[in-house]
Structure 1
Amino acid sequence: MNEIGRSHSKGILQALAAAGLFGISTPLAKLLLGTVAPGMLAGLLYGGSGIGLMLWMLWRRRSSASNEAPLVRRDLPWLAGAVLFGGVLGPLLLMFGLTHTPASSASLLLNMESVLTAALAWVVFRENVDSRILLGMLAIVAGGVLLSVQPTGYGASALGALAIVGACLCWAIDNNFTRPISGSDPLQITAIKGSVAGCINMLIALTMGYRFPAPSMLVAAGLLGFVGYGVSLVLFVLALRSLGTARTSAYFSTAPFLGACVSLLLFAEHPGLIFWLAGALMLLGVWLHVSERHEHEHVHEALTHNHRHRHDEHHQHDHDFPWDGKEPHTHPHTHEPLCHSHPHYPDLHHRHPHP
Structure 2
Amino acid sequence: MHIGVIYGLLAAALFGASTPFSKILVGQVSPVALAGMLYLGSGIGLLLCIVVRAIFMRTEKPVSLTPPDLPWLSGAIVAGGIAGPVLLMIGLTLTPASSASLLLNLEGVLTAMLAWFVFKENFDRRIFIGMLLIVVAGAILSWEQIPVLGVPWGALAIVGACLCWAVDNNLTRKVSASDPLQIACIKGLIAGSVNLGIALFLGYVRPDMRTVALAGFVGFFGYGLSLVLFVLALRHLGTARAGAYFSAAPFVGVIVSLILLGEIPGAVFWVAAALMGAGLWMHLTESHDHDHEHEAMTHLHEHSHDAHHQHEHDFEWDNAKSHAHSHSHTALLHRHPHYPDIHHRHEH
TM-score range for the pair, normalised by the shorter chain length:
over 0.9
TM-score, normalised relative to structure 1: 0.95
Secondary structure of the residue aligned to 1:296 is strand
Secondary structure of the residue aligned to 2:2 is helix
Query: For the structure 1 residues 107 and 50, does the alpha-carbon distance in structure 2 shift closer, same or farther, using more than 3 Å as the test?
Result: same
Distance in 1 (CA, whole Å) between partners of 2:212 and 2:27 is: 13
* Equivalent of 1:158 in 124, 148, 152: 152
Secondary structure of the residue aligned to 1:181 is coil
- The residue aligned with 2:229 is 235
Q: Does 1:46 pair with 2:39? A: yes
Aligned-pair distance for 1:282? 0.6
* Equivalent of 1:301 in 282, 288, 295: 295
Check conservation: 2:234, 2:341, Cα contact below 8 A: yes
Aligned-pair distance for 1:326? 4.7
- The residue aligned with 2:193 is 199
* Equivalent of 2:6 in 3, 13, 21: 13
Sequence identity percentage: 58
Q: What is the 5 A alignment of 1:310-325?
A: 310-325=304-319
1:64-101 residue CA offsets vs partner (Å, 9 max, x unmatched) = 34432111111101110110101000001000111111
In the alignment, structure 2 segments of 5+ residues that lack a partner are none
Secondary structure of the residue aligned to 1:183 is coil
Give aligned pairs, total.
346
In the alignment, structure 1 segments of 5+ residues that lack a partner are 1-7
Query: For the structure 1 residues 272 and 153, does the alpha-carbon distance in structure 2 shift closer, same or farther, using more than 3 Å as the test?
Result: farther
1:197-237 residue CA offsets vs partner (Å, 9 max, x unmatched) = 00000001111111221011110000110011000000111
* Equivalent of 1:33 in 26, 30, 35: 26
Check conservation: 1:100, 1:157, Cα contact below 8 A: no
* Equivalent of 1:212 in 206, 215, 225: 206
Distance in 1 (CA, whole Å) between partners of 2:200 and 2:128 is: 43
Aligned-pair distance for 1:299? 0.3
Q: Does 1:259 pair with 2:253? A: yes
Secondary structure of the residue aligned to 1:292 is coil
- The residue aligned with 1:288 is 282
Distance in 1 (CA, whole Å) between partners of 2:222 and 2:206 is: 20
RMSD between aligned residues: 1.5
Aligned-pair distance for 1:345? 0.3
TM-score, normalised relative to structure 2: 0.97
Amino acid at match of 2:103: L
* Equivalent of 2:50 in 39, 52, 57: 57
Q: What is the 5 A alignment of 1:49-88?
A: 49-67=42-60, 68-88=62-82
- The residue aligned with 1:225 is 219
Query: For the structure 1 residues 322 and 261, does the alpha-carbon distance in structure 2 shift closer, same or farther, using more than 3 Å as the test?
Result: closer
Distance in 2 (CA, whole Å) between partners of 1:29 and 1:11 is: 27
Aligned-pair distance for 1:190? 0.3
- The residue aligned with 1:278 is 272
Aligned-pair distance for 1:258? 1.1
- The residue aligned with 2:101 is 107
Distance in 2 (CA, whole Å) between partners of 1:269 and 1:21 is: 20
Distance in 1 (CA, whole Å) between partners of 2:52 and 2:273 is: 41
Amino acid at match of 2:105: N
1:152-174 residue CA offsets vs partner (Å, 9 max, x unmatched) = 689x9611111100000000000
